[in-house]
Structure 1
Amino acid sequence: MEKEVEFGEKNRMFGTLALPAGEGVHPAIVIIAGSGPLDRDGNVAKKLTTNLYKELAGFFTGLGFVTLRYDKRGTGKREGDWMAAGMWDLVEDARTAVEFLQAHPNVDKEKIIVAGHSEGTILATALGASMPLGGVIFLSGGVDNLPEALSKQRELGSNELLAKPVLGKLLKFLNVAQKSEKSAAKMMEKFKQSKEDIVKVQLFFKQPAKWYREHIAFNTREALKSMNFPVLAMVGDKDALADKEVLSELPSLVQGKADYSIIKDMEHGLRIQTEELSILKSGKRFKKILKRPLHPDALAKLEGWLNENYLGNNQKENVG
């Protein structure tokens, strides 16, 4: 059963609460969205429909979990400007969502999990370091912070370009990769020095300076050390936006039980991708991939982990 809910005293939030079949209390999952003007379902009004978070919520509720997904600032029914929101504003929104579930009569207060996707993995890390949670799920991210993730993305794109026979030689000759990194560093420094929420670059293009500033200052690895509850991280091997290699650090960072998996043929949006890994081709493939289902191996991993840690079914799982 799904219903719209409104919550939060200082900053009114709107979301969808879904209750599983059966009476009594249930464990719960809050879904934290990735970057950009995404609404509760993972969509951008009139521009992009993914329904990723709607599909995830349906899957989790089908397993027996209460789920809550909510509109980010300036999206859906929510007031505000998404670009003016800083990282800690988004963390506070996630905290408000957890507190709403803590007060709900059908929720087991000791078993509230946050599931962050993409940037949401960083927000879930910050939240988990600042309040007790029942667990955390990292989807398409985890361990590294935003500047590291952006650097890896630039590196992947640069390596693809440099691998091209003719163009690659020209780009090497012109030192394009080095110039690109210097430009990115200069941009980040501008954000760090700014006092504004939003700044313009190249005179016209707005950028979320406060958001960048707070992400740059946040140490994800130090925050992970505060977590004393189960943690699961999953990244696809065809994910062009998240670094799968850093997940191996997770067990040595958190105090609680940590599992991580690298899912074969899964892209950033948790869907099947059999094509080769390519950040340069991701835009062209996007609409086609959206028509594909969520990756069955990822769903099986999630189900096994949730059963073992929260539903008491003692189902085995594969750790990648």
Structure 2
Amino acid sequence: MERKRRPVTRVLQGKKMNCAPDGEKNIKTMKRRRILLTLLSLLLSAGIMTAQKTLKDIEGSWMGKLSAGGVELRLVFNFTLSEADTIKATLDSPDQAAQGIPLGSVTLAGDTLYISAPMLLGSYKGAMVSDSLVTGSWTQAGKSYPLDVRRQGAPVVINRPQEPKPPFPYKSEDVTFSNKVENFDLAGTLTLPEGSGPFPAVVLISGSGAQDRDEALLGHKPFLVLADYLTRNGIAVLRYDDRGVGKSKGNMSRATSLSLADDAEAAVTYLLTRPEINNKMIGLAGHSEGGLIAPIVGSRNSNIAFIVSLAGPGVSGYNIILKQTRDISAVSGVSEKDIEETISTNSKLFEMVIAEADQRQLAKDAMEWYNKELDGKAVTTEERKDLMAKFTQALLSVNNPWFRYFLAADPAEYWSQVKCPVLAINGEKDLQVSAEMNLPAIKSALKKG
């Protein structure tokens, strides 16, 4: 009877090795395991190195472009590390001429960067895909927008070659004048052509929102550019800070287009006191909302010699905003279904705003109505929470005297009473105030007058 051969075991450097006939196969298997262990170790080391990113890795400035509502804006995050290894963060929006907006907490966990922006009701979350690129999204007022930011080697510089530079071939004077209706002073700049005059003059009236005398917006100063051009061509220009802005007194929070017309009329009254001005040739040039304020003044003041409407309205704010919402949503890639749903919601909300002057009652009624609307829709708890947050934000933005007046006011009522020459200009590519909708309405109203 043949006996089975026992494997011979040898000890080599403290390890046992099997020298049976299949020992060579076992040795190869062990080598493969060692290689796999080595690769796994390298991968783990790489993971540990990635997780060990610190706030020092983001120190400096990072810029990206945010697209929202058909508008593209540059945003710059600035991170400064202190000696105590704490980080300070600010935000610049070069296209809005905004710098140094304080941000909140900044955390970097692994390759995930999170920045809170409590002053803006916003936040940023992104992933560091390299030492110079973070991909992520900016969230504000319940909406998220893709925003990838790259490390900047130098500060962002805005080039605005159209802005006039001194010395100027005309006189520029800081002036103040009074709104006698509400008894406060407004401050502005009067530019006068060289010579003794008297000169024709125009009052520039800004668009909606709190604007300074240059109507500074997105890094541009259109009223400064207009004033320079007109004054170089023999026309005096008065442009002023809106009430509560810059050096002007007064309060914007309760103002409407109707009360802002008193400010513009005060500017005209002031020009009538200046000997350099031809009091038979004082006109108004209003941009956007200013294109509503101008005919309000022109309809009641016989001293107005002409009106220029720049992107001004010819129909009610109710119609303008619904059209604006549809056009901007379409170019932003929003589905037709979602557009129709938004239009339907906004229409009902605007009707409630127009009908109810009591702001507290409106807020109560609107929230109850929208809650019932959601009851009839198949939405999850999380979706309902998100929709209610968005509706609340929308309600806050429209539940005020200015918006109520703007929604309800019919510009045709004022245009039809204007007797002076009018030049109305609207841009075909303007998604805010549709030329197709507003220019024919202005023309029709003027003919009725």
* TM-score normalised by structure 1 residue count: 0.69
Partner Cα distance (2:353, 2:219) in 1: 30
1:112 is matched by which residue type in structure 2? Answer: I
Q: 2:350 aligns with which of 188, 204, 208?
A: 188
Query: What's the CA shift for 1:24?
Result: 2.4
Q: Judge conservation of contact 1:83–1:208 (CA < 8 Å) in 2.
A: no
Query: What's the CA shift for 1:253?
Result: 2.7
Q: 1:90 to 1:36 in 2, by over 3 A?
A: same
Q: Judge conservation of contact 1:39–1:76 (CA < 8 Å) in 2.
A: yes
Where 2:249 maps in the other structure, the secondary structure is coil
Q: Judge conservation of contact 1:33–1:116 (CA < 8 Å) in 2.
A: yes
Partner Cα distance (2:282, 2:448) in 1: 15
Q: Which aligned pairs between 1:106-125 and structure 2 lie closer than 5 A?
A: 106-125=276-295
Q: Which aligned pairs between 1:43-54 and structure 2 lie closer than 5 A?
A: 43=216, 48-54=218-224
Task: State the Cα deviation string for residues 121-156 of structure 1 (Å, max 9, x = none).
Answer: 011121111212101001122422322221221121
Partner Cα distance (1:206, 1:153) in 2: 16
Aligned to 1:150: 321
Aligned to 1:20: 193
1:247 aligns with 2:417: no
1:32 aligns with 2:222: no
Query: What's the CA shift for 1:250?
Result: 3.7
Where 1:187 maps in the other structure, the secondary structure is helix
Query: What's the CA shift for 1:70?
Result: 0.6
Partner Cα distance (1:213, 1:196) in 2: 10
Q: 1:255 to 1:21 in 2, by over 3 A?
A: farther
Q: Any stretches of 5+ residues in structure 1 without a counterpart?
A: 258-320
2:320 is matched by which residue type in structure 1? Answer: A
Query: What's the CA shift for 1:183?
Result: 2.0
Partner Cα distance (1:85, 1:53) in 2: 22
* Structure (1 or 2) with the greater helix fraction: 1
Q: Judge conservation of contact 1:227–1:256 (CA < 8 Å) in 2.
A: no
Indicate the percent of aligned positions where both proteins have the same amino acid.
29
1:85 is matched by which residue type in structure 2? Answer: A
Count of paired positions: 244
Where 2:193 maps in the other structure, the secondary structure is coil
Q: Which aligned pairs between 1:68-79 and structure 2 lie closer than 5 A?
A: 68-79=238-249
Partner Cα distance (1:73, 1:251) in 2: 31
Q: Which aligned pairs between 1:164-183 and structure 2 lie closer than 5 A?
A: 171-172=335-336, 175-183=337-345
Aligned to 1:5: 175
1:109 is matched by which residue type in structure 2? Answer: N
Q: List structure 1 runs of 4+ shifted beyond 6 angstroms.
A: none
Aligned to 2:229: 59
The root-mean-square deviation of aligned C-alpha atoms, in Å, is 2.6
Query: What's the CA shift for 1:205?
Result: 4.2
1:143 is matched by which residue type in structure 2? Answer: G
Task: State the Cα deviation string for residues 59-81 of structure 1 (Å, max 9, x = none).
Answer: 11111111100111221112344
Larger relative contact order (CA 8 Å, sep ≥ 6): 1
Partner Cα distance (2:448, 2:235) in 1: 21
Aligned to 1:135: 306
1:104 aligns with 2:274: yes
* Structure (1 or 2) with the greater strand fraction: 2
Which has the larger Rg?
2
Partner Cα distance (2:340, 2:317) in 1: 20
Q: Any stretches of 5+ residues in structure 2 without a counterpart?
A: 1-170, 364-390
Q: Judge conservation of contact 1:226–1:255 (CA < 8 Å) in 2.
A: no
Q: 1:234 aligns with which of 416, 425, 428?
A: 425
Partner Cα distance (2:320, 2:347) in 1: 14
Q: Judge conservation of contact 1:191–1:213 (CA < 8 Å) in 2.
A: yes
2:312 is matched by which residue type in structure 1? Answer: G
Q: Judge conservation of contact 1:227–1:255 (CA < 8 Å) in 2.
A: no
Partner Cα distance (1:150, 1:113) in 2: 28
Aligned to 1:301: none
Partner Cα distance (1:244, 1:36) in 2: 21
Q: 1:206 to 1:148 in 2, by over 3 A?
A: closer
Query: What's the CA shift for 1:195?
Result: 3.3
Q: 1:138 to 1:208 in 2, by over 3 A?
A: farther
Partner Cα distance (1:70, 1:116) in 2: 12
